[in-house]
Amino acid sequence: MAGTIAGQDRRKAFMLLSPAYLWLTVAVFLPLSAMAYFSFLSEVPFDGRDWHFTIANYRAFFETGTYATLLWKSLKLGLVVTAVSVVIGFPCAYVLAKVVKGRAREALFLLVILPFWSNSLVRIFSWAIVLRGNGVLDRAVNAVLPWDVKLNLMFSPTAIVIGLVHSYLPYVILTSYLALQAIDDSLIEAARSLGAKRRTILWRLILPLAAPGIIAGAVLIFVPVVGSFMEPRLLGGRLGTYYGTVIEDQFVAVFNWPLGAALSFILLAVVLAILAAASPVLKRAAT
Partner 1 sequence: MSNRFLAHLGRAYLGLILFFLYAPILVMAAMSLNASEFYQLPFKFSGEWYDRLWNNREILAAAGRSIWIAVVVTVLATTLGTAASIALYRHDFPGKRILQALLFPPIAIPWLITGTAMLIFFFGIGIGRGTPAVIIGHVALALPYVIVVVSARLASFDRVLEEAARSLGASAWQVTRAVTVPWILPGIIAGGLFAFAVSFDQFVVSYFLSEPGDTTLPVLIYTSIRKGFTPEINAISTIIIAVSMGLMLLAARFTKFGGDR
Query: Between residue 107 and residue 166, which ones bind partner 1 under the rule CB under 8 A?
Result: 108-115, 117-123, 125-130, 132, 135-136, 139, 166
Supply the minimum distance, in Å, between the C-beta of residue 19 and partner 1: 5
212 binds partner 1 (CB under 8 A): no
Supply the minimum distance, in Å, between the C-beta of residue 59 and partner 1: 20
Using CB under 8 A, pick the residue from 67, 84, 86, 170 that binds partner 1: 170
> What is the C-alpha to C-alpha distance for residues 116 and 128, in angstroms, rounded to an integer?
18
Q: Helix/strand/coil (H, E, C) string of the chain?
A: CCHHHHHHHHHHHHHHHHHHHHHHHHHHHHHHHHHHHHCCECCCCCCCCCCCECCHHHHHHHHHCHHHHHHHHHHHHHHHHHHHHHHHHHHHHHHHHHHCCHHHHHHHHHHHHCHHHCCHHHHHHHHHHHHCCCCHHHHHHHHHCCCCCCCCCCCCHHHHHHHHHHHHHHHHHHHHHHHHHCCCHHHHHHHHHCCCCHHHHHHHHHHHHHHHHHHHHHHHHHHHHHCCCHHHHHHHHHHCCCHHHHHHHHHHCCCCHHHHHHHHHHHHHHHHHHHHHHHHHHHHHHC
Stretch that binds partner 1, among 64-72, 146-154, 183-191, 247-255 (CB under 8 A): 247-255
User: Binding-site residue total for partner 1 (CB under 8 A)?
Assistant: 88
30 binds partner 1 (CB under 8 A): yes
**Axis crossing angle, helix 157-181 with helix 120-131, rounded to the nearest 10:** 130
96 binds partner 1 (CB under 8 A): yes
Closest CB to partner 1 among 58 and 251? 251
Q: Dihedral angle at the C-alpha atoms of 266, 272, 278, 279, nearest 10 degrees? A: -170
Supply the minimum distance, in Å, between the C-beta of residue 15 and partner 1: 8
Closest CB to partner 1 among 209 and 248? 248
Closest CB to partner 1 among 73 and 123? 123
Stretch that binds partner 1, among 50-58, 147-155, 204-212, 259-267 (CB under 8 A): 259-267
Using CB under 8 A, pick the residue from 54, 83, 196, 227 that binds partner 1: 227
Supply the minimum distance, in Å, between the C-beta of residue 179 and partner 1: 11
Supply the minimum distance, in Å, between the C-beta of residue 173 and partner 1: 8
> What is the C-alpha to C-alpha distance for residues 236 and 241, in angstroms, rounded to an integer?
8
Stretch that binds partner 1, among 54-62, 63-71, 149-157, 266-274 (CB under 8 A): 266-274
Q: Which residues between 53 and 72 bind partner 1 (CB under 8 A)?
A: none
21 binds partner 1 (CB under 8 A): yes
Using CB under 8 A, pick the residue from 160, 164, 174, 216 that binds partner 1: 174
78 binds partner 1 (CB under 8 A): no
